């Protein structure tokens, strides 16, 4: 069939087993061919094609609600709900979102982007249906890594014994998070997976044996499973447990899902899938390189990512101080795979567990261990309480690396790093910094570990830095916690931090503006001596921050100006009360009046 003719999933119900298989194969070819053209989540989506076909075959979306955890594995759902024509715009500005998106379709019933929300959302949907007396099932699709998240356990704890509602939890087990799944829950699932052997055996015997013998073997299988799997955590928690089952066998999936529709109890349906199925390299990938792929044919970026630079610096720093790294599931994106191999006894991947990571880091620091906690800005929000209460309140010396700070681009609204400065600003004892360039990375990191006893935050963006240093060439120099003047000027003062300073420099040059450019690399506390000097110039002051402005540097500067009765004209550029959607970085800067033209537009009035 022509995938481009699909308007909604109703056509599926009429398809034969063979046609459903052919459909899966067409979708797989489409995804393999097209995801690399736009960039996107390749492996997770190749693993869920049969499951999503079976779900739409058995259930009636949107009356039956599908809740995709994270939402990065739902491309087949997008195709079956009539969005294939927009796939060429996937993750592009004003194009199709890479995640579930309320604006796109009534079939998109839960938006998240952050892992571990699906089971709580499931309970919300089930209770809403119960209260409103609405028909329909609630089905959560959650990966074996996301189910280990603290939030997932909080919901699992409740739903299993709840007599008011019944939910279906599909545990999509591919043994992988972005990299390999970690921890004892993952080990428990491995134990269940030992039954996988039976799945393979079953497929073979189904072909060669008559049905009555198969039924008999089925009973033997259940008996053997009972013997091997005396304990099952889900059954112990009150769920019916079905599985493990081959998640690529559409017929088997349909059979089981139809059974689940009939039962009254909440159920965990454990399916085994292969991440990257049908794409040779993605199937082999046990590191996570194919979890998300970037757009094919993009010009090769010169230099390395900020994350990689930080990890190289952390490696070099080990000469001076032996640090421990607590990594919540982002080893690949944060470029800590090499570090983890080199210092296995000083590194732990704790899985998708930002709250746990923060408290564990606090506890390590309390024991006198120098500790680095790398968090993506957006995921750090998860650990707000743990950072505030366990790290900041108690003034523990944890160095927190805030990765993907600022606008992140194609991942979109759930992943923007816009709130970390506001979040850390309100926390006692926390020092917040952002390096302008490679040299400042080394200086600030060294300062954070060697010269600080407070919680120390160093934030860095998603982009790239020009040079790619060798670990042995990285030098650490001591700095004072002060701002620096990058460029002198007399008519206006421009304050910012991080690579945004380059934007200000470029506008200054373009306008031939007589502006002073100040690098506020210590965002908190502000450099009051420097602020007095700047304010006394009596010139306008512009503060440019690529983040949400409430509680950021600008309000602190305003407070300082008011307290000291300075009357300079104050100007601000930042993101105010707006959601920044997915799209290319520069488009988003433009859309939110933060780009070169926008800065130029404001500063042109100050050219003399």
Ligand X SMILES: Cc1ncc(C[n+]2csc(CCOP(=O)(O)OP(=O)(O)O)c2C)c(N)n1
- Which positions are catalytic? 275, 354, 382
Q: Which of 156, 176, 254, 543 binds ligand X (CB under 6 A)?
A: 176
CB distance 305 to 374 below 8 Å: no
Q: How far is CA 61 from CA 81, 106, 592, in A?
A: 9, 9, 35
**Residue 177 within binding range of ligand X, rule CB under 6 A:** yes
* Among 539, 536, 542, 538, CA closest to 518: 542
CB distance 41 to 279 below 8 Å: no
**Residue 499 within binding range of ligand X, rule CB under 6 A:** no
DSSP lists the bridge partners of residue 169 as: 140, 268
The minimum distance between CB 45 and ligand X, in angstroms, equals 9
Which residue lies nearer to ligand X by CB, 274 or 487? 274
Which residue lies nearer to ligand X by CB, 39 or 143? 143
Q: Which segment (78-86, 176-184, 338-346, 500-508) binds ligand X by CB under 6 A?
A: 176-184
Which residue lies nearer to ligand X by CB, 311 or 414? 414
**Residue 44 within binding range of ligand X, rule CB under 6 A:** yes
Per-residue tokens: 529? 């001596």
The minimum distance between CB 382 and ligand X, in angstroms, equals 5
Q: How far is CA 223 from CA 48, 98, 453, 522, in A?
A: 30, 43, 59, 65
Which residue lies nearer to ligand X by CB, 145 or 316? 145
Which residue lies nearer to ligand X by CB, 68 or 522? 68
CB distance 153 to 169 below 8 Å: no
Which residue lies nearer to ligand X by CB, 189 or 541? 189
Q: For the range 122-130, what are the long-range contacts, defined as Cβ-Cβ under 8 Å and sequence gap of 24 or more?
A: 122/67, 122/155, 122/159, 122/167, 122/169, 123/155, 123/158, 123/159, 123/162, 123/165, 123/167, 125/65, 125/67, 126/159, 126/165, 126/166, 126/167, 127/164, 127/165, 129/165, 130/164, 130/165
Dist CA 483 CA 435 (whole Å) = 11
CB distance 370 to 376 below 8 Å: no
Which residue lies nearer to ligand X by CB, 47 or 412? 47
Q: Which segment (9-17, 170-178, 202-210, 588-596) binds ligand X by CB under 6 A?
A: 170-178
**Residue 519 within binding range of ligand X, rule CB under 6 A:** no
The minimum distance between CB 354 and ligand X, in angstroms, equals 6
Element (H or E) spanning 485, and its range? strand 484-487
**Residue 352 within binding range of ligand X, rule CB under 6 A:** yes
Which residue lies nearer to ligand X by CB, 333 or 406? 333
**Residue 81 within binding range of ligand X, rule CB under 6 A:** no
Element (H or E) spanning 78, and its range? helix 75-80
The minimum distance between CB 113 and ligand X, in angstroms, equals 6
The minimum distance between CB 74 and ligand X, in angstroms, equals 10
- The full DSSP string for 565-580 is T----EEEEEE-S---
Contact code string over 57-76 relative to ligand X, x by CB under 6 A = -------------x-xx---
The minimum distance between CB 47 and ligand X, in angstroms, equals 6
Which residue lies nearer to ligand X by CB, 76 or 146? 146
Dist CA 345 CA 196 (whole Å) = 33
Q: Which of 50, 137, 144, 440 binds ligand X (CB under 6 A)?
A: 144
Site size for ligand X (CB under 6 A): 22
Which position has the token pair 């640090």? 323
Element (H or E) spanning 515, and its range? strand 515-519
92: number of Cβ within 10 Å = 19
The minimum distance between CB 318 and ligand X, in angstroms, equals 26
* Among 169, 173, 180, 167, CA closest to 195: 173
**Residue 272 within binding range of ligand X, rule CB under 6 A:** no
**Residue 443 within binding range of ligand X, rule CB under 6 A:** no
Q: Helix (H, G, I), strand (E, B), or coil: what is residue 390?
A: helix
Q: Which segment (139-147, 464-472, 550-558, 568-576) binds ligand X by CB under 6 A?
A: 139-147
The minimum distance between CB 496 and ligand X, in angstroms, equals 28
Q: Which of 146, 152, 549, 552 binds ligand X (CB under 6 A)?
A: 146
Per-residue tokens: 102? 């309320």
Q: Which of 56, 77, 83, 275 binds ligand X (CB under 6 A)?
A: 275
Contacts of 28 (CB under 8 A, 6+ apart): 46, 49, 277, 278
Q: Which segment (144-152, 383-391, 426-434, 449-457) binds ligand X by CB under 6 A?
A: 144-152
**Residue 118 within binding range of ligand X, rule CB under 6 A:** no
Q: Which of 120, 174, 323, 413 binds ligand X (CB under 6 A)?
A: 174
Reduced 3-state DSSP string for 252-308 = HHHHHHHHHHHCCCCEEEEEECCCCCCCHHHHHCCCCCCCEECCCCCCCCCCEEHHH
Per-residue tokens: 456? 């120390």
Q: Which segment (169-177, 194-202, 403-411, 450-458) binds ligand X by CB under 6 A?
A: 169-177
Which residue lies nearer to ligand X by CB, 172 or 256? 172
Which residue lies nearer to ligand X by CB, 206 or 381? 381
The minimum distance between CB 276 and ligand X, in angstroms, equals 10
**Residue 172 within binding range of ligand X, rule CB under 6 A:** yes
Per-residue tokens: 225? 């499973």
Classify residue 374 by its DSSP letter.
E
User: Nearest 5°: phi and psi at 103?
Assistant: -70, -25
**Residue 202 within binding range of ligand X, rule CB under 6 A:** no
Q: Helix (H, G, I), strand (E, B), or coil: what is residue 488?
A: coil
Q: Which of 81, 115, 305, 442 binds ligand X (CB under 6 A)?
A: 115
Q: Which of 269, 347, 379, 419 binds ligand X (CB under 6 A)?
A: 379
**Residue 170 within binding range of ligand X, rule CB under 6 A:** no
Residues 288-347 that bind ligand X (CB under 6 A): 329
Classify residue 471 by its DSSP letter.
G
Q: Which of 12, 27, 80, 178 binds ligand X (CB under 6 A)?
A: 178
Taking CB positions, which residue lies at the least distance from ligand X? 143
Q: Which of 129, 279, 382, 524 binds ligand X (CB under 6 A)?
A: 382
Which residue lies nearer to ligand X by CB, 150 or 555? 150
**Residue 549 within binding range of ligand X, rule CB under 6 A:** no
**Residue 186 within binding range of ligand X, rule CB under 6 A:** no
Q: Quick one: CA torsion of 65, 66, 68, 74, rounded to 10 degrees? A: -130
Binding site for ligand X (CB under 6 A): 44, 47, 70, 72-73, 114-115, 143-146, 172, 174, 176-178, 275, 329, 352, 354, 379, 382
């Amino acid at each position: 069939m022509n995938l481009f003719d699909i308007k909604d999933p109703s056509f599926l119900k009429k398809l034969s087993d063979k046609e459903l298989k052919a459909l899966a194969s067409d979708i797989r070819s489409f995804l393999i061919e097209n995801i690399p053209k736009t960039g996107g989540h390749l492996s997770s989506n190749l693993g869920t094609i049969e499951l999503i076909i079976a779900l739409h075959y058995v259930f009636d979306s949107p009356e039956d609600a599908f809740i995709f955890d994270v939402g990065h594995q739902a491309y087949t759902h997008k195709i079956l709900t009539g969005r294939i024509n927009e796939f060429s715009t996937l993750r592009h500005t004003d194009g199709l979102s890479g995640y579930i998106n309320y604006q796109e379709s009534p079939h998109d019933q839960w938006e998240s982007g952050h892992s571990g929300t699906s089971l709580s959302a499931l309970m919300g949907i089930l209770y809403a249906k119960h209260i409103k007396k609405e028909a329909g099932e609630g089905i959560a699709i959650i990966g074996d890594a996301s189910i280990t998240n603290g939030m997932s356990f909080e919901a699992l704890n409740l739903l299993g014994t709840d007599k008011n509602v019944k939910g279906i939890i599909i545990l999509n087990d591919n043994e992988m998070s972005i990299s390999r799944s970690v921890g004892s829950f993952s080990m428990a699932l491995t134990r269940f997976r030992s039954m996988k052997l039976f799945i393979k055996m079953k497929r073979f015997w189904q072909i060669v044996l008559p049905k009555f013998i198969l039924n008999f073997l089925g009973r033997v299988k259940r008996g053997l499973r009972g013997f091997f799997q005396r304990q099952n955590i889900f059954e112990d928690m009150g769920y019916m447990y079905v599985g493990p089952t081959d998640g690529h066998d559409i017929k088997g999936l349909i059979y089981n899902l139809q059974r689940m529709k009939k039962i009254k109890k909440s159920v965990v349906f454990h399916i085994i899938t292969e991440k990257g199925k049908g794409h040779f390299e993605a199937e082999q990938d046990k590191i996570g390189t194919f979890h998300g792929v970037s757009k094919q044919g993009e010009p090769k970026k010169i230099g390395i990512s900020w994350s990689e630079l930080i990890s190289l610096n952390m490696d070099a720093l080990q000469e001076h101080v032996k640090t421990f790294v607590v990594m919540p599931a982002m080893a690949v994106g944060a470029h800590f795979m090499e570090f983890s191999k080199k210092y296995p006894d000083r590194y732990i991947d704790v899985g998708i567990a930002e709250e746990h990571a923060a408290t564990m880091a606090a506890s390590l620091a309390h024991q006198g261990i120098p500790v680095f906690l790398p968090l993506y800005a957006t995921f750090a929000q998860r650990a707000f309480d743990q950072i505030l209460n366990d790290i900041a309140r108690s003034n523990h010396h944890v160095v927190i690396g805030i990765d993907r700070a600022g606008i992140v681009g194609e991942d979109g609204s759930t992943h923007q790093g816009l709130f970390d400065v506001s979040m850390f600003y309100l926390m006692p004892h926390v020092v917040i910094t952002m390096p302008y360039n490679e040299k400042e990375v080394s200086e600030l990191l060294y300062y954070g570990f060697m010269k600080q006893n407070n919680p120390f935050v160093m934030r860095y963006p998603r982009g790239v830095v020009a040079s790619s240093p060798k670990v042995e060439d990285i030098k650490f120099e001591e700095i004072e916690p002060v701002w620096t003047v990058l460029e002198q000027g007399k008519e206006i003062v421009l304050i910012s931090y991080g690579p945004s300073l380059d934007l200000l420099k470029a506008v200054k040059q373009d306008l031939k503006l007589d502006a002073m450019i100040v690098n506020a690399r210590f965002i908190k506390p502000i450099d009051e001596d420097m602020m007095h000097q700047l304010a006394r110039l009596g010139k306008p002051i512009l503060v440019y921050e690529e983040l949400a402005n409430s509680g950021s540097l600008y309000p602190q500067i305003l407070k300082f100006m008011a307290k000291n009765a300075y009357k300079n004209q104050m100007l601000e550029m930042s993101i105010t009360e707006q959601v920044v959607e997915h799209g290319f970085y520069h488009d988003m800067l433009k859309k939110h009046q933060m780009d070169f033209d926008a800065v130029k537009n404001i500063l042109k009035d100050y050219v003399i």
